[in-house]
Amino acid sequence: MVVATDKSNGRSIPATNISPNTIIELEKGDPAVFEKYWRKRGEECSIVIRGWEMMSYHGDAKNNVCWYMLPEVERSIRRLHHVVGNAVTHDRYIVVGTGATQLFQAAVFALSPSHPSKPINVLAAAPFYSEYQDEISILRSGLYQWGGDAASYKKNEPYIEVITSPNNPDGIIRGPVVKSEAKGKLIHDLAYYWPHYTPITHQAGHDLMLFTFSKCTGHAGSRFGWALVKDIEVAKKMTRYVQLSSIGVSKETQTRVVKIIGVVCDGYQNFGSMESELFFEYSKHLLRERWEKLWAVIDESKVFSVAKYPKAFCNFTNESSEPSPGFIWLKCEDGVEDCESYLLEKLKVRARAGKRFGVDSKYARISMIGTDDDFNEFLRRVSNAKKECEKGVNF
Amino acid sequence: MVVATDKSNGRSIPATNISPNTIIELEKGDPAVFEKYWRKRGEECSIVIRGWEMMSYHGDAKNNVCWYMLPEVERSIRRLHHVVGNAVTHDRYIVVGTGATQLFQAAVFALSPSHPSKPINVLAAAPFYSEYQDEISILRSGLYQWGGDAASYKKNEPYIEVITSPNNPDGIIRGPVVKSEAKGKLIHDLAYYWPHYTPITHQAGHDLMLFTFSKCTGHAGSRFGWALVKDIEVAKKMTRYVQLSSIGVSKETQTRVVKIIGVVCDGYQNFGSMESELFFEYSKHLLRERWEKLWAVIDESKVFSVAKYPKAFCNFTNESSEPSPGFIWLKCEDGVEDCESYLLEKLKVRARAGKRFGVDSKYARISMIGTDDDFNEFLRRVSNAKKECEKGVNF
């Protein structure tokens, strides 16, 4: 069903083919928004793998740390960080995993004491990424356990703090928050520290940094992540975890990572590329456009609010700009106590509840990186909710 | 360095380019032997993936169990088992993983009680696959723990028994061995239950069966395995494990699995294929040839022995034949107590020690599926060891 263009708030929301009764799935972070870019690039991003290629478990016999990684994958990752300037790769070991999800668990394992008298606490400041807790708790490990909100950690015991920056769900730039005098180890999850989401204000140089292909270029189906690790023993222990968990990482995936990162970097390093055709510029533009449309609707909303982000100077784009996070961290205003249920029941939008992120149910997370249709339909429904609210409809 | 053909035992061992001082790596099971087949098939086995394809985490919105699996992967797996006749797929759910390694852990998780008073014991009869113990023990789970040799399990407590058949390392066809009256759950690891390794004597119909692409077609670099699961709740719990462990399985890998399995099955189902060009016939021939060469050397060896395998009728090839296991389970004769050290020090062959498989050090495992050069050089060195032994050289 085609819904006519809505100009109620002075901005147009494009028509979509989604019926008003269809539930819009914005609970997960499937990065469909970037598909458009890769379609425009056409065949130059294709990979071909022949039947007899990539049959071995091994990637690089000379790599005495991450033995299943192809040498060209390592070069691609170093090149990408060199181009973007978002992280130090000098004097760092690279460990690759089946998504940052696997590497996060590898990192926690590697930083945990091997023979603890009790499990070490793994902490993150709320609101924290909704999956950390389940990933840590699923096997009831005797090595580590979920310790909850880092901001309220008061124990004088060793801990591991995960710092997600920009944060998922709320897009905030973060540093460690634990005040304990006990010895803490840090994992920096920098999945969203890329120029399309946030200004690149500095080259991150932490001891253990995680990145993912899913959120960088949008290839979530590939299941690929990487860690930059300062200490060789930590890198080796992470590699051992990945070995025991899945004997390495798909070589087909690694082949594609090399191709896609190569296309991104070539754009920046080859003379004559048009700025609007460069991956991060193009993607930033897409996300900025969405955020501007969102602000126009949210600013007039009586039901929802979203915190504003400060501008910052981006060393990569050489301009000052606001972040364009990958998620909307929506707060329901007074009168709506359960944001997720309200969204589902009244707007037929599936969001992820605030409670999953360790905060109260007035909050919910909505994906900002889904398809155009889903995003526009979401805007229309939020805009309509405002009107119903004005009409005094009870919610 | 080219070593001249060795005809000392009446059979020729082809020349190799390996210097006598080079260590031959036969410790892992990299399935390089199958590369030759895929080269012969040429471009028909190639996959092409465009930049904008396979970007989503999702595989099949309609699959309410394994949501990250492409529907064509499910069809391919069912088709392959239908062609080979080695396992029942009717009334079974399919769960795919990043190798059978990930799925084995998913299976143990799924079969373990969710809130146990103490961890359930995971058992396997010795000699058992060397990695089970570390995979089970690495995180010190409170749900399950390694219980050791299934044959000596005497506790009257619930357990999970892993039955590897044909067994890795020794190629023996196995069934459950635990005699306890306690309730046990079974995982059947059928990685090697394919016609090139062993006669297909029946269609396996167990409740939980694991298979891997690595050992079936030789594509170990792809990291792909699948489980056939009778109980939907077990299948869902396994899927949840894979979700929390790696948010699914690489879509590039899944694309390749569809292509490769398609080529294998087409060979059998399309009229006019030459038998010698069919995957399992070709591969069985390669392995049989190696085993015959091995027997010629071993039968005359004063140092090593290998147990003989009984013939059985294979329903797939319609003939009676001996198994051709993927590994040589080598026993050192009296006078050599540590088979692995002897192999490394005297023959410069890296093997996996018997102790890793839960038995004594007179045993070691050698890969039978490596490159031609490595295999032939191994044969030559074993043959030379015999001669040195005859000359009275001390070992």
Phi–psi pair at B170, nearest 5 degrees: -105, 0
For residue range B307-332, list pLDDT tens digits in order.
999 999 999 999 999 999 999 999 99
Cα–Cα nearest to A55, from B352, B37, B23 = B37
CB < 8 Å to B255, chain A: 252
pLDDT band at A8 (very low <50, low <70, confident <90, very high): very low
Q: Quick check: bond before A127 cis, omega within 30?
A: yes
Measured distance CA(B257)–CA(B248) in Å, rounded = 15
Instruction: Give the torsion through C-alpha atoms of A99, A102, A108, A113, to 10 deg.
Output: -140
Q: Are B339 and B366 in contact (CB under 8 A)?
A: no
Task: Write down the pLDDT at residue B392.
Answer: 56
Relative to beta strand B319-321, strand B327-332 is unpaired
Task: Write down the pLDDT at residue A388.
Answer: 65
Task: Write down the pLDDT at residue A250.
Answer: 98
For residue range A143-162, list pLDDT tens digits in order.
999 999 999 999 999 999 99
For residue range B26-49, list pLDDT tens digits in order.
999 999 999 999 999 999 999 999
Neighbours of A294 (CB within 10 A): 21
CB < 8 Å to B224, chain A: 250
- Please determine, for residue B16, whether its predicted confidence score (pLDDT) is greater than 90: no
CB < 8 Å to B259, chain A: 51
Assigned token pair, B81: 């088992």
Assigned token pair, A78: 């170093």
Assigned token pair, B94: 């399919």
> To the nearest whole angstrom, how far is the Cα of A301 from the nearest Cα of chain B?
31
Amino acid at B350: R
pLDDT band at A14 (very low <50, low <70, confident <90, very high): confident
- Please determine, for residue A191, whether its predicted confidence score (pLDDT) is greater than 50: yes
Average confidence (pLDDT) over B150-154? 95
Measured distance CA(B289)–CA(B313) in Å, rounded = 19
Helix (H, G, I), strand (E, B), or coil: what is residue A112?
Answer: coil
Above pLDDT 70, what percent of chain B? 95
Average confidence (pLDDT) over A173-178? 97
Beta bridge partners of B365: B329, B352
Q: Per the CB < 8 Å rule, is B247 touching A99?
A: yes
**In which element (H, E) is residue A359 found?**
none
- Please determine, for residue A39, whether its predicted confidence score (pLDDT) is greater than 60: yes
Q: Per the CB < 8 Å rule, is A38 touching B46?
A: no
Relative to beta strand B120-124, strand B159-164 is parallel
For residue range A52-70, list pLDDT tens digits in order.
999 999 999 898 899 999 9
Q: Are B197 and B316 in contact (CB under 8 A)?
A: no
Assigned token pair, B341: 């050290």
Task: Write down the pLDDT at residue A284.
Answer: 97
What's the gap between Cα B182 and its chain centre? 30
Q: Per the CB < 8 Å rule, is A46 touching B49?
A: yes
For residue range A209-264, list pLDDT tens digits in order.
999 999 999 999 999 999 999 999 999 999 999 999 999 999 999 999 999 999 99
Instruction: Give the torsion through C-alpha atoms of A148, A150, A151, A152, to 10 deg.
Output: 50
DSSP 8-state assignment for residue A178:
-
Q: Which residues have C-beta within 8 Å of that of residue A10, sequence separation ≥ 6?
A: A296
Whole-model pTM: value is 0.95
Does the CB of B248 have a partner CB in chain A at under 8 Å? Answer: yes
- Comparing A11-15, B262-266, B353-357, B359-363, the range with the smallest average pLDDT is A11-15
Measured distance CA(A183)–CA(A149) in Å, rounded = 17
Q: Which residues have C-beta within 8 Å of that of residue A73, sequence separation ≥ 6?
A: A59, A96, A254, A257, A258
Please determine, for the modelled complex, whether the ipTM score is greater than 0.90: yes
| Angle, CA of A78, A79 and A82, to the nearest 5° | 90
Of A52, A249, A259, the CB nearest to B223: A249
| Angle, CA of A188, B253 and A209, to the nearest 5° | 10
For residue range A258-306, list pLDDT tens digits in order.
999 999 999 999 878 888 899 999 999 999 999 999 999 998 888 999 9
Q: Which of residues 54-93 of A touch B (CB under 8 A)?
A: 54-58
Does the CB of A109 have a partner CB in chain B at under 8 Å? Answer: yes
Task: Write down the pLDDT at residue B123.
Answer: 98
Task: Write down the pLDDT at residue A395.
Answer: 45
Cα–Cα nearest to B351, from B6, B11, B25 = B25
Burial class (CB in 10 A: 0-12, 13-18, 19+), B73: buried
Task: Write down the pLDDT at residue B46.
Answer: 98
Cα–Cα nearest to A225, from A77, A54, A33, A46 = A77
Cα–Cα nearest to B332, from B345, B318, B321, B317 = B345
Q: Are B303 and B386 in contact (CB under 8 A)?
A: yes
How many A/B residue pairs have CB atoms within 8 Å?
202
CB < 8 Å to A109, chain B: 138-139
Average confidence (pLDDT) over A62-88? 97
CA dist list (Å): A294 to A13, A37, A366, A382, B366: 10, 21, 12, 9, 62
Question: Taking all residues of chain B, what is their mean pLDDT, rounded to a whole number?
Answer: 94
Task: Write down the pLDDT at residue B290.
Answer: 98
- Please determine, for residue A3, whether its predicted confidence score (pLDDT) is greater than 50: no
Buried b (16+ CB within 10 A) or exposed e, B74-87: bebbebbbbbbebb
Q: What DSSP line would sit under B231-282, residue for residue? A: -HHHHHHHHHHHHHHHSS--HHHHHHHHHHHHHHHHHHHSTT--GGGSHHHH
Assigned token pair, B209: 């069966």
Beta bridge partners of B330: B364
Buried b (16+ CB within 10 A) or exposed e, A199-227: bbeeebebebbbbbbbbbbbbbbbbbbbb
Above pLDDT 90, what percent of chain A? 86
Q: Per the CB < 8 Å rule, is A241 touching B135?
A: no
Assigned token pair, B249: 């399985």
Assigned token pair, B90: 């009717």
Does the CB of B145 have a partner CB in chain A at under 8 Å? Answer: no
What's the gap between Cα A109 and its chain centre? 21
Does the CB of B41 have a partner CB in chain A at under 8 Å? Answer: yes
Helix (H, G, I), strand (E, B), or coil: what is residue B133?
Answer: helix
- Comparing A21-25, A324-328, A354-358, B15-19, the range with the smallest average pLDDT is B15-19
- Please determine, for residue B393, whether its predicted confidence score (pLDDT) is greater than 90: no
Measured distance CA(A248)–CA(A241) in Å, rounded = 9
Q: Are B126 and B357 in contact (CB under 8 A)?
A: yes
- Please determine, for residue B207, whether its predicted confidence score (pLDDT) is greater than 70: yes
* Interface mutation target, options B132, B145, B252, chain A, most CBs of A under 10 Å: B252
Residues present in chain A in total: 395
> To the nearest whole angstrom, how far is the Cα of B299 from the nearest Cα of chain A?
31
CB < 8 Å to A28, chain B: 57
pLDDT band at A373 (very low <50, low <70, confident <90, very high): very high
